[in-house]
Amino acid sequence: MTVQTVIRMGHPTLRRVAKPYPVDNIGSPAFQVLIQDMQETLHAYGGIGLAAPQIDVSYQVAVIEIENTTTRYGELERVPFSVFVNPVISVADGEITGYWEACLSIPGLMGYVERPQHIQIDYLDEAGTAQSLEYQGFMATVFQHEFDHLQGKLYVDRMKDPTQFAFDEEYHTYHVDE
């Protein structure tokens, strides 16, 4: 398996709506290679989530793994390595909260984004089984960020205030306790 290069903002694949993954191909050798490459790439880059378009594969597949729950976003709930195929988000209630987000495709920068904080996700898991989960708080933001990649969107599209956009170092110096 291979650590793939994470493409960066400006690459056209990040702006394309990804194709739904063909359900009949879930579990195929090509699917297994894609998932393993995404896991290795996520580990190599030290992220908590990765969408297939970020490795220049324009399919609606994302992975999330939070094993080390002490992150730069604070203490998070543990999420074992999980695969989300063709996910759909619905907003469960109207509460909106903001967090500073970072993205492997926008290295070195962070931006403050407000999003719904109670969502339901419907998706196929890596066995092709339909699943439905609800998430609240920061995890709701994590899923919306990752699944936005499948629709050709980046967190910068959702920022309302460009003064809340900072390099990592300046974020940690000037914004971390806001």
Q: Are 92 and 121 in contact (CB under 8 A)?
A: no
Report residue 157 as tokens: 């599209």
- Which DSSP category does 30 fall into? H
Residue 48 near Zn ion by CB under 5 A: no
Q: Where are the alpha helices (DSSP H) in the chain?
A: 29-45, 138-149, 168-170
Residue 146 beta carbon to Zn ion: minimum distance, rounded to whole angstroms: 7
- Of positions 26, 55, 61, 103, contacts Zn ion by CB under 5 A: 103
Report residue 129 as tokens: 């089984």
Listed residue (100, 79, 77, 83) closest to 155, CA to CA: 100
Catalytic residue among 75, 146, 169, 170: 146
Residue nearer to Zn ion on the CB measure, 103 or 140: 103
**Span of 26-34, 78-86, 97-105, 164-172 interacting with Zn ion by CB under 5 A:** 97-105
**Span of 5-13, 38-46, 95-103, 116-124 interacting with Zn ion by CB under 5 A:** 95-103
75 as an active site residue: the answer is: no
